[in-house]
Amino acid sequence: MTAQISKVLIANRGEIALRVIRACREMGLKTVAVYSEADEHALHVRFADEAICIGPASAQLSYLNIPNIIAAAEISGADAVHPGYGFLSERAEFAEVVEKCGMIFIGPTPEHMRMMGDKVRARETMIEAGVPVLPGTGVLTSGEEAVKAAEDIGLPVILKASAGGGGRGMKIVRELDRIAATLATAQAEALAAFGCGDMYIERYVERPRHVEVQVVADNHGNVIDLLERECSIQRRHQKLVEEAPCANLSEEVREAMLAAAVKAAKAIDYRSVGTVEFLLDGDKFYFMEMNTRVQVEHCVTEMITGVDIVQEQIRLAEGEAIGHLNRRHRARGHAIEVRINAEDPVTFAPHPGVISALHFPGGTGVRVDSHIYQGYTVSPHYDSMLAKLIVHAPDRERALRRLRRALGESVVEGISTNIPLHRWLLKQDAFQSGEYDTHFLELNLDGAAILSEAHAQV
C-alpha cells in the first residue's frame, strides 16, 4: 500500500537540508524549511518553497523543539517530515508524534529506532540473528560485575554507554583494578550526555578498521546492500574521511560482511535506508551498531552506485518496493569524501566566524555538498562541518589525484578549516596505500607539517 507525498518539511539545517531540498525538487515535491533566528539568511531557507522560523539560535529551543517543528509542519500543510541526520533524526518520540499528527515520517519505524538506539538490545538482537558480535555483556549492575566480565572477556576492554554515540561515555580499560572507578566515571558521563547511565563491556580491538554497509529495505520484506564504505580516518571518534569501496579488502570478507548487513536488517524487519557498522579486525568483522537514518557519508555510495539514496528514502516512506534497484551492485570506480570543518586543523578546536572569501573546486568527478557562501557567518551554536568534498574516478589512485587537485582549488578564508589536514593526509604513505585504521590520526598527527600545508603553494 502506497501513500503519496506532496510536501516535505525538512526538520534540519545546513547541507543536509539543502540535500533533501534538491532530492525533493527533482521528484516534483514541495519543500518547507525550518530555521532558527541564527539561520535566517541560510541557503536552505532561501531555496525551499516555504520557510518558517522555529525559535532562537539554541538548538534546544529550535531544531530540537518538537512542538515548534510539528506546528510548522501543520501550518505549512506538509504531509511528510524528513529529519536529515543529527538533531531529531533518531529520536523515536519525534517519529511517533509526526505519525500521530497524520504525517509520514521519512525514515524507519519508532520501534526500529529504539531497538537499534539501545546498544545492548541491538547486540542481543544481532547475536540471535547470527551476526558476528564482539564478546561482551548486557547492562552492568555493579563494579564487581564489571570486573568479573573483564576477567572472562580478557583485557583490554571498552566500557560503552547503552544509549551512547559519538564516543561519549566510552572508556578503554587495561587494568582490572581500574574497572570499578572507570565505570563510575563513564556512567556519570553517559547520564549527563544521554539521560541514561546504563553501561556495558566489550572486548577492545586495538587497531580496527571502521567499515559500514549501506542497506535499503522496503515494506515488502526486500533488503539489499549498496556496498560498503571505509570510515577509519577519525578524530575523537568522529569521521573525517570516507571512501567507497574499501581499499585492501578481500572479496571473501566483503561478501560475508555485505551478507551479514542484509541479515541484520532482515532480522528486525527493517524498513527504510540504514547503515550497519562493523569493526574489522584483520579478516574478522563484528557488528558495532546500526544507524537508522541517512549518513553524512552517503554521497560516496551514491557516486559508485548511481543510486540517489535520499530519493530512495522518500520512495520507501511512500511504501514503494525496491524492485527497480539492482539486486547485486558492483562498484563503478572509486569515491572519496572529506569533511571540511570550521576548526583548527591540529587541535580540532571549533572556529566560528565570517567567511570572507570562498571558492569550491569543480571539474569532472568533483561534487561539493555545502551550505556556505562568501559572507556567511559560521555559528558557534551548531556542528562545525562546512562542506563535504567528494571525488569520483575510475580507480582509487586516480581518485586520490583528483582529490589532491580539488583540495588545492578549495579556498575558505576568514576562519580556520581542516583543509590543511586533508592535504597533509593525502601525502601519507599509509593513506596512499589504504593501510590505515581508526587510530591513524591520533598516532601520526604532525602539527608542524599540517600547519605548513596551510601556507604551501597550490
pLDDT tens by residue, 140-174: 999 999 999 999 999 999 999 998 777 788 899 99
The pLDDT confidence band at residue 325, using thresholds 50, 70 and 90, is confident
The C-alpha R_g of the chain, in whole angstroms, comes to: 22
The pLDDT confidence band at residue 284, using thresholds 50, 70 and 90, is very high
| pLDDT on residue 331 | 87
Cα–Cα distances (Å) from 458 to 228, 258, 366, 405, 423, in that order, read 32, 40, 18, 9, 10
> Is 219 inside any structural domain?
yes
> Is 122 inside any structural domain?
no
d(CA 294, CA 83): 9
Q: Residue range 360-382: average pLDDT?
A: 97
Beta-bridged to residue 276, according to DSSP, are 213, 290
> Is 117 inside any structural domain?
no
Contact 288, 208 (CB under 8 A): no
Res 397 pLDDT > 60: yes
96 and 155 together in one domain: no
Res 390 pLDDT > 90: yes
Q: What is the mean pLDDT of the chain?
A: 95
pLDDT in tens, 116-141: 999 999 999 999 999 999 999 999 99
143 and 63 together in one domain: no
| pLDDT on residue 68 | 98
**253: Cβ contacts below 8 Å, ≥ 6 apart:** 280, 283, 285
318 and 356 together in one domain: yes
Q: Which of 13, 229, 254, 293 is catalytic?
A: 293
Domain boundary among 203, 218, 250: 203
d(CA 350, CA 93): 31
Of residues 38, 388, 59, the one with CA closest to residue 239: 388
| pLDDT on residue 169 | 80
190 and 235 together in one domain: no
The pLDDT confidence band at residue 445, using thresholds 50, 70 and 90, is very high
Active site annotation includes 405: no
Contact 198, 146 (CB under 8 A): no
Query: Any idea what the CATH number is for the domain that residue 284 is in?
Result: 3.30.470.20
pLDDT in tens, 219-259: 999 999 999 999 999 998 899 999 999 999 999 999 999 99
CB neighbour burial string for 126-149, b if at least 16 within 10 angstroms, e if fewer: beebebebbebbeebeeeebbbeb
Q: Which three cell numbers stand for residue 309?
A: 539514496
277 and 409 together in one domain: yes
185 and 246 together in one domain: no
The pLDDT confidence band at residue 1, using thresholds 50, 70 and 90, is low
Query: Which has more confidence, 324 or 203?
Result: 203
| pLDDT on residue 140 | 94
Instruction: Tell how strand 284-291 and strand 366-370 pair up.
Output: unpaired
196 and 225 together in one domain: no
Query: Any idea what the CATH number is for the domain that residue 144 is in?
Result: 3.30.1490.20
| pLDDT on residue 2 | 66
pLDDT in tens, 24-43: 999 999 999 999 999 999 99
Domain boundary among 203, 220, 243: 203
Res 414 pLDDT > 90: yes
370 and 429 together in one domain: yes
19 and 101 together in one domain: yes
> Is 120 inside any structural domain?
no
d(CA 25, CA 14): 17
237 and 198 together in one domain: no
Domain boundary among 175, 203, 231: 203
| pLDDT on residue 165 | 74
| pLDDT on residue 164 | 79
Instruction: Tell how strand 80-82 and strand 7-10 pair up.
Output: parallel
Of residues 42, 66, 47, the one with CA closest to residue 55: 66
> Is 250 inside any structural domain?
yes
Write the single-letter amino acid at 38: A
Query: Any idea what the CATH number is for the domain that residue 27 is in?
Result: 3.40.50.20
318 and 398 together in one domain: yes
Sole residue written with cell 556556505? 372
Res 200 pLDDT > 90: yes
Give the least confident one: 20-24, 323-327, 446-450. Answer: 323-327
> Is 1 inside any structural domain?
no
Of residues 351, 265, 243, the one with CA closest to residue 316: 265
| pLDDT on residue 457 | 54
d(CA 452, CA 458): 12
Q: Residue range 98-105: average pLDDT?
A: 98
d(CA 65, CA 134): 37
Domain that holds residue 355: 209-455
Res 328 pLDDT > 70: no
How many domains does the chain fold into? Answer: 3
> Is 168 inside any structural domain?
yes
| pLDDT on residue 153 | 96
Q: Where does 293-445 show beta strands of DSSP type E? A: 334-341, 353-354, 357-359, 366-370, 377-378, 385-393, 411-413
| pLDDT on residue 327 | 63
249 and 338 together in one domain: yes
> pTM value?
0.95
Of residues 164, 127, 115, 409, the one with CA closest to residue 274: 115
| pLDDT on residue 193 | 87
Contact 419, 385 (CB under 8 A): no
> Is 233 inside any structural domain?
yes
